[in-house]
Amino acid sequence: MFDLGQSITSTLTPLGEAGLLLTIFALFYIDAIIFPTLPELFTVIVFMVTPTTSFAVLILVTIAIAEFSGFCTLYFLVRYVRVPKVVQNAVSRYCKFLVVKDEKVILFNRIAPMVPFIGAFAAIMKWDFRRCILYTFVGGVAKYGAILALSNLFYVYLSSGLASTVTLILIAIVIAASFVLSLARRKKAPDRCDVDPKGPGPAN
């Protein structure tokens, strides 16, 4: 019988732990600054190659570094360039979909993704940088720490093949739930959300 988990791990094992961690970094960095890469899915796929607690910790540290790097890349890029008025207006209009209008959006984004390119969004909205970094770190560790902890638990109490299947099902549920929650949030749009018409200023 075809074992999806075994097929995946056999393909990725030659990369070694360093290569796998580099892959995780690249995927999360790209997810933060260019386009979505389904990081939840790839997190557990990489974990399945070496399903140990120590490797899970390394994955979590790599995720934190990648998200910090991605956020800072967009944040400071936008802070030091003149953002076109049309982009500022677009961000202001988009903000009407948000239930929370300050840095806490970063935390809500972990549950129901509403704001892409959060680093650029934070710069345009002039959010506090230190608070943004704190929420990025806390949100990332909480979300991916929980995913990795559950994945590790499956491998402890289930056979390897079954654990791989259950883990992939879990991630499919997480992604689907996030999508549904995002749609639900969009239907609860507040009346308005303003952005400073002067646009982003120099970094503090």
**Encoding tokens for residue 99?**
């239930």
Per the domain annotation, does 103 fall within a domain? yes
Contact 24, 4 (CB under 8 A): no
Whole-number pLDDT of residue 180: 66
Residue with the larger pLDDT of the pair 61 and 157: 61
Mean pLDDT of the region 44-72: 93
Per the domain annotation, does 191 fall within a domain? no
Domain count, the chain: 1
CA distance 131 to 105: 11
pLDDT for residue 61 is more than 80: yes
Residue with the larger pLDDT of the pair 22 and 170: 22
Residues 6+ apart with CB under 8 A from 122: 71, 75, 103, 106, 129, 132
Whole-number pLDDT of residue 184: 59
Per the domain annotation, does 95 fall within a domain? yes
pTM of the predicted model, to two decimals? 0.78
Mean pLDDT of the region 158-186: 63
Tens digits of residue pLDDT in 20-39? 999 999 999 999 999 888 88
- In whole numbers, what is the pLDDT of the chain averaged over residues? 80
Per the domain annotation, does 129 fall within a domain? yes
Domain that holds residue 138: 4-186
CA distance 120 to 154: 37
Per the domain annotation, does 13 fall within a domain? yes
Report the 3 state secondary structure along 164-201.
Answer: HHHHHHHHHHHHHHHHHHHHHHHCCCCCCCCCCCCCCC
